[in-house]
Amino acid sequence: MKLQFSPEDEAFRLEVREFVRTQLPGDIKRKVELGLRLEHADYVTWFRILEARGWLTPGWPVEYGGPGWNHVQRYLFDEETLLGSAPRIIASGIQMLAPVLIAFGTPEQKAKYLPDIRQSNTWWAQGFSEPGAGSDLAAVRTTAVLEPDGKHFIVNGHKVWTSYAHWCSMMFALVRTDPNAGKPQEGISFLLINMDAPGLTVRPIQMIDGGADLNECYLDNVRVPAENLVGELNKGWSYGKYLLGHERTGIAGIGSCKQQLARARELAQAQGLAEDALLPAY
């Protein structure tokens, strides 16, 4: 399928392209071009440049600080920033949690958390996957028991493959609040957990490139304020599905794939392999 863009769309594309060309710091661009590791400071630097332009939260409603773009503009923004060798937007807080808070959070939760997400002051870990509960999220076993006075949940369990948890100060998590529910999808709630809470331990998972972007998180009698429950008790499965709908559309990375393919073609040409049949066209 070949997309057709209007003159207005193409003007917007050029605006984004020029912004990336002039505003993306050279050292960060070089890291992306060469496939080098980006550190937390690299992402924050670029995210704050985007936020100053009003472009960090493309999917947010205008009333919460979004730019009011349509779907085509969001696609063009994603493509042009990544084609320009900018870091991708880390999805957890901006593209995953924020839509859930906007749709289901309390006014207090929105006021407390959304501004800090936009300003890159708070990074969020995704506490979904567990040993034995990856693709089958309904099998989560991490428990959250509400204390008799109703003020705190006591959380116990083990999360795994938690991206960038070592950079995060908060986690959103699916937890089991009713172990006797009739169906596995029932009895799950959506909690916001402070990563500095006593009893929460982050252990890095060493990756083949020497980094540790993925982590295990152990929760041992972690106390979570009851006001950190998002939406209704035992309705977390619905909120998790809503979040995953935003996650999948937010991590496609089409522009990044095109940028990396172009880089591969440059390397192939330098080695006299530009016409190799194994190098796909695009």
pLDDT per position as a tens digit, 45-96: 999 999 999 999 999 999 999 999 998 999 999 999 999 999 999 889 999 9
Tell me: do 161 and 64 sit in the same domain: no
Answer yes or no: are the C-beta atoms of 141 and 132 closer than 8 Å.
Answer: yes
Tell me: do 75 and 129 sit in the same domain: no
Residue bearing the bigger pLDDT, 246 or 40: 40
Catalytic one among 232, 247, 266, 275? 247
Q: pTM for the whole thing?
A: 0.87
Tell me: do 77 and 152 sit in the same domain: no
In a domain, 105, yes or no: no
Q: What is the pLDDT of residue 9?
A: 96
Give the number of domains in the chain: 2
Tell me: do 224 and 260 sit in the same domain: no
Residue bearing the bigger pLDDT, 68 or 4: 68
CATH number of 57's domain: 1.10.540
Burial class (CB in 10 A: 0-12, 13-18, 19+), 259: buried
Q: What is the pLDDT of residue 233?
A: 97
Is residue 252 scored above 80 in pLDDT?
no
pLDDT band at residue 119 under the 50/70/90 scheme: very high
Calculate what percentage of the chain has a pLDDT beyond 70.
Answer: 90
In a domain, 136, yes or no: yes
- Which residues 6+ apart lie within 8 Å of 64 measured at CB? 57, 98, 102, 110, 114
pLDDT band at residue 256 under the 50/70/90 scheme: low
pLDDT per position as a tens digit, 135-152: 788 899 999 999 999 999
Tell me: do 37 and 82 sit in the same domain: yes
Is residue 217 scored above 80 in pLDDT?
yes
pLDDT per position as a tens digit, 225-249: 999 999 999 999 999 999 988 665 5
Separation of CA 140 from chain center? 20
In a domain, 188, yes or no: yes
Answer yes or no: are the C-beta atoms of 201 and 218 closer than 8 Å.
Answer: yes
CATH number of 131's domain: 2.40.110.10
Q: What is the pLDDT of residue 1?
A: 53
Domain containing 262 equals 7-89+252-270
In a domain, 56, yes or no: yes
Burial track 127-142 (b if 16+ CB lie within 10 A, e otherwise)? bbbbeebeeebeebeb
247 carries an active-site annotation: yes
Q: What is the mean pLDDT of residues 6-22?
A: 97
Tell me: do 62 and 140 sit in the same domain: no
Burial track 199-210 (b if 16+ CB lie within 10 A, e otherwise)? ebebeeeeeeee
Q: Considering only 16-20, 40-44, 48-52, 137-141, which range has the smallest mean pLDDT?
A: 137-141
Closest CA to 170 of 234, 98, 238: 98
Answer yes or no: are the C-beta atoms of 98 and 117 closer than 8 Å.
Answer: yes
